[in-house]
Amino acid sequence: MIALAPDAPPAGVVRGCARMTFARRGSRTVLVRSEVAAPMTVIRPFGLPDGRLVVQLITLGPGLCAGDVMHIEATTGDGARAIVTTTAATRVMTMEPGERAEQHVVLHAGTDSSLEYYPAVTLPFPGSALAQTVRVTAAPTARVAVIESWAMGRAARDEYLRFRSLSSRTTLYVDGVPTYTDAMDLEPGVTDVANAGVLAGRRYVAAGFWHGVTLPPETGVQPSAGGIMVAFAQSLPGLAYLRALGDDGPEMDSVLRRAVERVSEAWRLPAIHMDRFRC
């Protein structure tokens, strides 16, 4: 477990957490442990007919502010099957130069378990800075899914690339062996991140992976009518990945939903539509 620092944070700064442990009970999955610290909280879980359990996370207040540090931990015990999502976009609020917020996610999937992490989009405000890590450990027979998406600013307010920095590190370890890693570092004020080698001028970015899946050879997600650029394929036996760039938020959501549907088909599970669990 991640231990919170014992000293009190400065006034106006919060260190929130949501720690959850899931266990198998017959044909069902139950939330056997839930520990939260404001501003994070957990909504009562929803059981799905296929035996999976959906848990929604909420961050109270306007969003992540300067100095805030959030911890999310989820563990599925042997045979348990859980889906963790958020009810709305994660907003990273405007900050003074030199300040930043942090978010750290730790996921562990036990033997023959399933753990899916599908948060809503992250939206950085002008002048904001976010450093995030996602660390996943999985048993060889586990199924794990992680998809994240980021907006490059509020389009309606013409805030494209007005944030200060956005950093994310995602790693997957299977039976202790590094299996997947993804990194994103964007500093619009330092380098031209809008160029074709990075964003190609697009306003939305998405990345994700699935462990424990074998996609049929014909599986894929084609570029949408809205111009979403997407790569979705098998990279290693048992491992699939997704990367996407686009200009339209709803179109990006549609591409991600279709990718989840393809994996659900491979897992012989009903497709899960996250929209019903979001505001």
Q: What would the pLDDT profile of 159-170 be if each residue is shown by its tens digit?
A: 999 999 999 999
Report CA-CA distances (Å) from 108 to 20, 116, 203.
10, 10, 31
Q: Is the pLDDT of residue 7 over 60?
A: no
Question: Is 242 inside a domain boundary?
Answer: no
Mean pLDDT of 6-23: 71
Our CA angle for 179, 119, 66, nearest 5°, is 100
**Given CA atoms 92, 88, 172, 18 in this order, what sign does their dihedral have?**
positive
φ, ψ for residue 205, nearest 5 deg:
-130, 140
**Do residues 52 and 65 make contact, with C-beta atoms less than 8 angstroms apart?**
no
Distance CA 34, CA 21 (A): 7
The pLDDT score that the predictor gives to residue 1 is 33
Average confidence score pLDDT of the chain: 90
Task: Give 164's Cβ-side CA count (13 Å radius).
Answer: 16
Which structural domain, as residue segments, surrounds residue 102?
Answer: 16-199
Q: Is the pLDDT of residue 3 over 60?
A: no
Distance CA 230, CA 223 (A): 6
The pLDDT score that the predictor gives to residue 91 is 95
Tell me if residue 185 falls in helix, strand or coil: strand
Q: Is the pLDDT of residue 269 over 70?
A: yes
Q: Is the pLDDT of residue 225 over 60?
A: no
Between residues 53 and 39, which one has the greater pLDDT? 53
The pLDDT score that the predictor gives to residue 59 is 87
* 184: confidence class by pLDDT, cuts 50, 70, 90: very high
Question: Is 279 inside a domain boundary?
Answer: no
Report CA-CA distances (Å) from 56 to 30, 42, 44, 105, 194.
14, 6, 8, 15, 33
Structure tokens at 277: 């669990």
Q: How many domains does the chain have?
A: 1
DSSP E strands: which ranges in the chain?
Answer: 15-25, 28-37, 40-42, 46-47, 53-59, 69-76, 81-86, 90-92, 101-109, 114-118, 122-124, 129-138, 143-151, 165-174, 177-186, 204-211, 229-236, 239-246
Whether the model pTM is above 0.95: no
Question: Is 6 inside a domain boundary?
Answer: no
Residue 204 burial class via C-beta count within 10 angstroms: exposed 0-12, middle 13-18, buried 19 and up? buried
Q: Which residue in this structure is represented by tokens 């490059």? A: 152
Question: Is 115 inside a domain boundary?
Answer: yes
Q: Is the pLDDT of residue 275 over 90?
A: no
Question: Is 219 inside a domain boundary?
Answer: no
Question: Is 213 inside a domain boundary?
Answer: no
Question: Is 234 inside a domain boundary?
Answer: no
**Do residues 132 and 167 make contact, with C-beta atoms less than 8 angstroms apart?**
yes
The pLDDT score that the predictor gives to residue 124 is 97
Q: What would the pLDDT profile of 81-125 be if each residue is shown by its tens digit?
A: 999 999 999 999 999 999 999 999 999 999 999 999 999 999 999
Question: Is 134 inside a domain boundary?
Answer: yes
